């Protein structure tokens, strides 16, 4: 049964990729494995507790106009068997003169497909406001007709879909975002100044290995595909000590999976990420990630910093009866 579910997930990946079109990058996260709902609505309510959290990311420190991302989320599960999850996520992302604020209501329903295996189906319906701050532009010729000096805004709906399969020591997820991007008419002048929102597909998987009574090892990966550019690959290696402290390293790179490449001499956007996540008994989690850029422009933008904080409510201790390591 479990093998059939795995084959089903990868079949969906194949079918979805065959329908992809132009894409623009979604906000990037390094600690997504501790807040998977931001990329997969099927994760809503997975931990079967009420959780609220925030995240702030400053990318490419030292570069003016570099990406800055803030997010707020909360989710919980409902029903006698905790098989229904509902979550809300709000993300604000700013890059140069462009900024976007999006909000999603996420719904997930989990099926017990084996004694220790669950398959969740998720959907996220949301809305986004996209802004081009042309009045903040610094130009040599303020009268250049090719540069908008206005503040242009527009709002569009969005839909996300996802799957999440998990056992006690394995998980796999697949999700798609920006599924309503094609309904937007980009033909107007005001919308042309804002980058098109394209579909993105995420594939995640990982496992848990118990090294001793105190140490656990969790290797995982994420593939992020937008079809238009090189495929992004994250390889993560995390160690958990005493169910309280995560420490680990990630390697982020680009791979040429579908025969796509980049023009010129631009190298892969490689980075090494060091992260630490700490839990305490009253339900607080504090995490920090430090990205060190290895790409061709690393001399200008070596570092990215990301901090996240969450609080779990409803239990005296953080640890739950069946710990959710994924």
User: Which CATH number is 110's domain given?
Assistant: 2.40.160.40
Give residue 22's pLDDT: 34
The boundaries of the domain holding residue 14 are 2-313
Please tell me whether residue 37 adopts helix, strand or coil conformation.
helix
Kindly tell me the sign of the dihedral angle through the C-alpha atoms of 71, 309, 43, 220.
positive
Give residue 140's pLDDT: 64
Residue 320 falls inside a structural domain: no
| DSSP track, 129-179 | EEEEEGGG---S-TT-TTS--SEEEEEEEEEEEEEEEE-SSEEEEEEEE-T
DSSP 315: -
Give residue 172's pLDDT: 96
Give residue 28's pLDDT: 82
Structure tokens given for 195: 């980058």
Give residue 66's pLDDT: 80
Please tell me whether residue 72 adopts helix, strand or coil conformation.
strand
Residue 326 falls inside a structural domain: no
Residue 57 falls inside a structural domain: yes
For the chain, the domain total comes to: 1
Q: How far apart are CA 58 and CA 277, in angstroms?
A: 18
100: β partners: 93, 130
Q: What is the pLDDT along the chain (326 residues), one digit of tens a residue?
A: 555 444 444 433 333 333 333 334 577 889 998 889 989 999 999 988 899 999 999 987 777 778 899 999 999 999 888 899 999 999 999 887 788 899 999 999 999 998 889 999 999 999 988 887 776 666 666 666 656 666 778 888 889 999 999 998 999 999 999 888 666 555 554 555 555 667 889 999 999 999 999 999 999 999 998 877 778 899 999 999 998 999 999 999 987 766 655 544 444 568 899 999 999 888 899 999 999 888 655 555 568 899 999 999 865 444 444 457 87
Give residue 173's pLDDT: 96
Residue 11 falls inside a structural domain: yes
Give residue 185's pLDDT: 56
The residue length of the chain stands at: 326
Residue 21 falls inside a structural domain: yes
Residue 323 falls inside a structural domain: no
Residue 321 falls inside a structural domain: no
Give residue 35's pLDDT: 82
Q: Using alpha carbons only, give the angle 284, 289, 290 rounded to the nearest 5 degrees.
A: 155
156-193 per-residue burial string, b: 16 or more CB within 10 A, e: under 16: bebbbbbbbbbbeebbbbbbbbbbbbeebeeeeeebeb
First to last CA, the chain: 21
Residue 29 falls inside a structural domain: yes
Give residue 87's pLDDT: 96
**Contact at 8 Å (CB) between 201 and 228?**
no
Helix (H) or strand (E) holding 10: helix 2-17
Give residue 104's pLDDT: 96
């Amino acid at each position: 049964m479990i093998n059939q579910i795995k084959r089903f997930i990868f079949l969906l990946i194949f079918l979805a990729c065959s329908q992809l079109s132009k894409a623009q990058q979604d906000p990037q996260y390094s600690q997504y494995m501790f807040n998977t709902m931001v990329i997969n609505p099927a994760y809503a309510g997975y931990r079967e507790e009420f959780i609220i959290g925030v995240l702030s990311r400053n990318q490419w420190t030292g570069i003016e106009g570099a990406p800055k991302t803030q997010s707020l989320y909360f989710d919980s599960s409902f029903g006698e068997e905790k098989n229904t999850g509902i979550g809300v996520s709000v993300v604000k992302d700013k890059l140069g003169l462009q900024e976007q604020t999006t909000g999603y209501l996420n719904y997930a329903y989990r099926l017990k497909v084996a004694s220790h295996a669950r398959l969740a189906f998720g959907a996220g319906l949301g809305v986004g406001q996209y802004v081009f701050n042309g009045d903040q532009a610094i130009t040599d010729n303020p009268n250049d007709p090719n540069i908008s000096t206005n503040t242009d805004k527009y709002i569009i709906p969005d839909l996300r879909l996802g799957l999440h399969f998990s056992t006690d020591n394995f998980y796999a997820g697949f999700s798609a975002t920006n599924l309503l991007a094609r309904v937007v008419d980009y033909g107007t002048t005001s919308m042309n100044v804002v980058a098109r929102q394209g579909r993105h597909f995420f594939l995640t998987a990982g496992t848990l290995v118990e090294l001793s009574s105190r140490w656990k090892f969790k290797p995982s990966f994420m593939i992020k595909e937008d079809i238009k550019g090189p495929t992004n690959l994250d390889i993560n290696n995390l160690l958990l000590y005493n169910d309280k402290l995560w420490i680990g390293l990630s390697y982020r790179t680009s791979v040429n999976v579908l025969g796509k490449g980049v023009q010129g001499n631009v190298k892969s956007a490689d980075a090494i990420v060091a992260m630490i996540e700490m839990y305490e008994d009253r339900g607080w989690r504090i995490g920090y990630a430090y990205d060190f850029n290895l790409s061709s422009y690393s001399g200008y933008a070596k570092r990215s910093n990301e901090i996240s904080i969450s609080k779990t409510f409803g239990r005296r201790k953080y640890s739950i009866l069946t710990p959710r390591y994924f």
